[in-house]
Structure 1
Amino acid sequence: MTTRRPIMEFVAISALLVIGGLTYTYVHRKRLYKQIDQLEQWKISLMNRPVPEELSKIKSLNMMGETEQLFEKWRNEWDDIVAVQLPNIEEKLFDIEEAVVKYRFMKAKEALRQTEQQLQEIEGNIQRILLELQELVGSEEKNREEIEQLKEKYRHVKKAMLTQRHTFGRTEAALEARLNELQQQFQSFEQLTTEGNYLAAREVVLLIQNELNEFNRFIEHIPLLLSDAQVEIPAQLDNIIEGYRELLEKEYVLDHLPVEKEVEAIRGKVSEVLALLETLAVDEAEKLLREAQEDIDTLYDLLEKEVYAERFVHEETEKIEQTLYELEEETKETRDETLFVQQSYHLSQSDLDKYRQIEKQVQQLMKRFMLIQQKMIEERLAYSLIREELEEILAQIATVKEKHVQFREHLYALRKDELAAREKLAEMKKQLSEAIRLVKKSKLPGLPESYMLQVSEARESLTRVSLTLDGKPLNMEAVHQSLDEAIVFVQNVYDQTKEMIEQAQLAESVIQYGNRYRRRFHAVNAGLEEAEQLFRRYEYELALQKAIAAVEQVEEGAFERIRQWLKENE
């Protein structure tokens, strides 16, 4: 029994290995056969490509020259594919099947890879042949269609040349030469087509198309450019020279404008434009003509600037003179007003410096304006330069005016501040009197020394404000400082008065309320007696605290009820 068991295990393992090997072999062979079938189908599809049909279309063309050469080339390539390359593929597929049958799987796989690569190369060659065939046939069809359209365009261009010949000037000879070249291109196309060179003829068609487009642009632009160069720009230049000389006759100073030199330079550009047009260099001529027009526009702008400047100078000079005179008079008035204000108010050194600066700037503006007037009489100055200086003076006048207005407003504000301070002082005095009236009305037995000291300080602060306001010259900075202090003192007295009266009333009410507990509770009696003694010494806050503490011992929340009752019965 012990020897039979290992034998049985060996047999079972061997059987499993054999079954596994057979299964692997079956699956692998099936996969390889499938690949062989796929390559066979590919080969058949390549043989059925419509190359012969496409080649037959070429026979309808002129079988000469380039067409004949290409036809022979493509036919030979297709014959080689059908007669040599694809049969070789067929033999290789048989060899691969034989290798699979003999279990030479590695050899079969390598052969399959090589065969697939060869089929890909054949596929690429067939695609190329078909594309080249389509290109040749398509070129012939496109050439036949487009050449008629181009001939019609050519006839239109030639007609335009005849009817508009007078608008082309010296460019006519160059245009005629280009037309003759176009005629030769048409002849070249016909010859290439007759010889079967359809692809080369296609290049000629595209060339003619570009040439006609450019020629259309020539006959459209050249008359306009010639008109600008021969008529418009010379007329503008003559106009500039005429205007320049008129301004000189009117005694304009134009030494800084080399107008005649610039005009000659522009005439030179125009001559260059005409020379470029004679060679049909239209783009370069158009660019140079734009530059010439920009130069002309600049000259116009400069001359117009002088005309406008002359008008400005004559219109504004008198106004500026009047404005400066008025500003000078106003600053004199401000000087008198400043001296008057100094008698009653204290002006800081900064304020005085501001006025002196204003006065100095006005004098400088007057001197500068007079200098400009003198130059206008004695020297030859361009109006544009004079205008620039006058505009600077106007800007400075505006700045000085603004500073002057601000200074005058400051002088007015000083008086305004004084009145406001006196009104505030009266208000503070009234508030202090109100506090004293409340004290008298409350009929308190007396007043704490601390409170009396606060009242005294408040009165002294009000006195200091009055004395500062009566000072000569009036120093508003000192007034504001003393007034701010007085406001604090008086407000403290007023707040303390209301608090003290309220504490006294509450203390008195709590003591009266606590009297009901005096006989029954010794501690309450003692506390209330102490509160009464503090009340008689005018220590109302402490008296209230002691009275509350005594009553709250026997009746918690009594103080809040008393306060609420007092509020309801005010």
Structure 2
Amino acid sequence: MDFIIILLLILVIFIAYGMTIRKKIYKEVDRLEAWKIDIMNRPVTDEMAMVKSLNMVGQTEELFEKWRNKWDEIVTTDLPDVEEILFDIEDYADKYRMRKAKLLAKDLHDHLQKIEDSIQTILSELQELVGSEEQNRVGIEELKQLYRDVKRSLLAHSNSFGKAEATMEKILDHTMVRFKDFDETMSNGNVLAAKGIVLSIKEKLENMQQLIEDLPTLLKECQFTIPNQLSELLQGINEMKDQGFVLSHLQIEKEISLIHDQLATYLNQIEEAEINSAKSGLVELQAKIESFYDQLENEVLSKNFVNQEVHPIHGSLDYLYDEIKETKSETEQVQLSYQLSDQDIEIQKNIETQINQLLKRFTNVKSSVEEQDVAYSIIKNELEDIKHQIEAIKDSHQEFSGVLQTLRKDELYVKAQLNEMRKMLLESKRLVQKSNLPGLPESYLVDITECNQQVIKIAEKLEEKPLHIPVLTVMLNRALEDVKNLSITTEEMLEQAYLVEQVIQYGNRYRGRSLHMSEKLTEAELAFRHFEYSRALEEAATALEKVEPGALKKIHYLIETK
């Protein structure tokens, strides 16, 4: 029973699904049917009737026949086939052959789209033909007027075109022939070909207008403007040479000769009415001439710089040379008292070498200025570099001078610190003597002896000639640290010794009450007499805190308030 129910449910679902799909296919058939009807009702025939108003020969006749045949094929063959396919789709749907129906519907859609595309091609080509015919007639009349205007301009300004006038006349004559070609092409019904002729004539006449506008100016530049500029440039170069300028490195005369050759080439092109290359070439020549003037101006500015700077630079060099010479003498004196590092000695030698080389360079530059055998721009570059080198040597020299001054400062600093250490040692000894200690620990005696020896060695090192400041500095730093530590140790030792005495005195009140206390205090006294102040304090303080917690804090307070 359950099996039958499930089977019936599946059957119902299948039938419902089939009906849904069949409904969709019927809907698609209706859409394709409407599309077919729309295509049948297109006014293609009416549109093609417009072509009959044209001259039905040649290209026009061929296009019309092609469009008519294509439309007849669509109406008599393609669309009836569409009707049959629509019936087949419905038949497949009725028989629940859905997959076949869908494939056939898709193929029919593609077929109708191809028909649609063919119709659009016919209509667009038709519109282009009809539109071109009208555009051609309007356009050719405008071009005839433009031709007459160009012809008048050419005749009115014929003297401005030189030999190019003959070439321009030939262009106009050829253009007139193209007008005849247009009439013949139109009479043969070749509307689209005639459109190409219209565009060709328009391009030629526009080029002629541009020629009429540009050619006189280009001729003037080629024949007069640029040659005059070159003559003025050569004259300026000769005048500058007479004034002592060296200009051979610029090679402007050679460039001017090349420009004359280029002008001849551009002139031939202009006379042949080929102005595009000449037009851009003349712009480049003008830019090149401007660059020549910039180079000459640079030489003038360079001369002014040289005249203004050569003497100040000479003075700076002499002053720096004298300073370096004095520093050399000072270095020799310093070396009698101090040892200089190999690096410092090398720096001093390098500074001396650099100033000597720079003096030689400047001498050569000054000689070139006097003899006027080198371009001022080159001399200017040399002087600028020399100025830069002077500043660099100045910096190195100042740094080295600072090293020499630092040596004396370091010596004075060592002496001052030596005196300070002596005072610190004397103060430590004074405090020890004043404390009336029973004696001093062995380690303390070793430390104070070591500190005394270090101070003596530093004093002896200071008497050596020449002094080795880096070594002295290392010795000083180590000794200074040891002496400061000794001072701290001295204060701590004296504080411990005094505190031990106070703790033992305070703890004596408990000797009779506690045997342990008595023994610990005795041990502390024994350590004190053996100069072990730290251990004595530890023994006494630990024992006292056991019998009276907080006693050590109380003793500290009593000491501070005395």
TM-score interval w.r.t. the shorter chain? 0.7 to 0.9
Distance 1:209 1:567 in 2: 122
Change (3 A) 1:467 1:149: farther
| Unpaired stretches in structure 1, ≥5 consecutive residues | 1-7
Alignment match of 1:473 (pick from 445, 466, 471): 466
Give the structure-1-normalised TM-score: 0.81
- Please report how far the alpha carbon of residue 550 of structure 1 lies from its aligned counterpart in structure 2 after TM superposition: 1.7
Distance 2:267 2:559 in 1: 109
Note if 1:263 corresponds to 2:261. no
2:245–2:372 CA contact under 8 A, matched in 1: no
**CA displacement, residues 493-535 of structure 1 (integer Å, 9 cap, x when unaligned):** 1221232233334444544554554444432332233223323
**Range moving further from structure 2, 276-285 or 98-107:** 98-107
Change (3 A) 1:471 1:49: same
Change (3 A) 1:11 1:256: closer
- Please report how far the alpha carbon of residue 377 of structure 1 lies from its aligned counterpart in structure 2 after TM superposition: 7.0
Number of matched pairs: 562
Note if 1:131 corresponds to 2:124. yes
Note if 1:246 corresponds to 2:229. no
Distance 1:17 1:191 in 2: 79
Q: Counterpart in 1 of 2:192?
A: 199
Note if 1:44 corresponds to 2:37. yes
Q: Counterpart in 1 of 2:328?
A: 335
Alignment match of 2:422 (pick from 429, 438, 442): 429
Note if 1:547 corresponds to 2:554. no
**CA displacement, residues 392-421 of structure 1 (integer Å, 9 cap, x when unaligned):** 554544444433333333222222222222
- Please report how far the alpha carbon of residue 375 of structure 1 lies from its aligned counterpart in structure 2 after TM superposition: 6.7
Distance 1:104 1:337 in 2: 117
Alignment match of 1:292 (pick from 257, 281, 285): 285
Alignment match of 2:403 (pick from 406, 410, 424): 410
1:509–1:562 CA contact under 8 A, matched in 2: no
- What amino acid maps onto 1:46 in structure 2? I
Distance 1:412 1:240 in 2: 60
2:244–2:372 CA contact under 8 A, matched in 1: no
Change (3 A) 1:187 1:349: same
- Please report how far the alpha carbon of residue 549 of structure 1 lies from its aligned counterpart in structure 2 after TM superposition: 2.4
Alignment match of 2:72 (pick from 76, 79, 102): 79
**Range moving further from structure 2, 429-438 or 455-464:** 429-438
Distance 2:271 2:559 in 1: 112
**CA displacement, residues 237-296 of structure 1 (integer Å, 9 cap, x when unaligned):** 112211222233345445555443332211111111111222333332134324433543
Distance 1:225 1:248 in 2: 33
Note if 1:237 corresponds to 2:258. no
**CA displacement, residues 96-148 of structure 1 (integer Å, 9 cap, x when unaligned):** 65677788888877765665554343223222222222333443465567667
Change (3 A) 1:62 1:554: farther
Q: Counterpart in 2 of 1:495?
A: 488
Change (3 A) 1:13 1:330: closer
Distance 2:394 2:155 in 1: 74
- What amino acid maps onto 1:241 in structure 2? L
Change (3 A) 1:127 1:421: same
Change (3 A) 1:83 1:565: same
2:246–2:372 CA contact under 8 A, matched in 1: no
Q: Counterpart in 1 of 2:457?
A: 464
Describe the SS at the equivalent of 1:447: coil
Q: Counterpart in 2 of 1:89?
A: 82
- Please report how far the alpha carbon of residue 224 of structure 1 lies from its aligned counterpart in structure 2 after TM superposition: 4.3
- Please report how far the alpha carbon of residue 480 of structure 1 lies from its aligned counterpart in structure 2 after TM superposition: 1.4
| Unpaired stretches in structure 2, ≥5 consecutive residues | none
Query: Equivalent residues in 2 for 1:168-247 (5 A)?
Result: 168-182=161-175, 185=178, 188-189=181-182, 192=185, 196-211=189-204, 214-247=207-240
1:468–1:478 CA contact under 8 A, matched in 2: no
Give the structure-2-normalised TM-score: 0.82
Change (3 A) 1:498 1:20: closer
**Range moving further from structure 2, 144-153 or 324-333:** 144-153
RMSD over aligned Cα atoms? 4.2
- Please report how far the alpha carbon of residue 160 of structure 1 lies from its aligned counterpart in structure 2 after TM superposition: 5.7
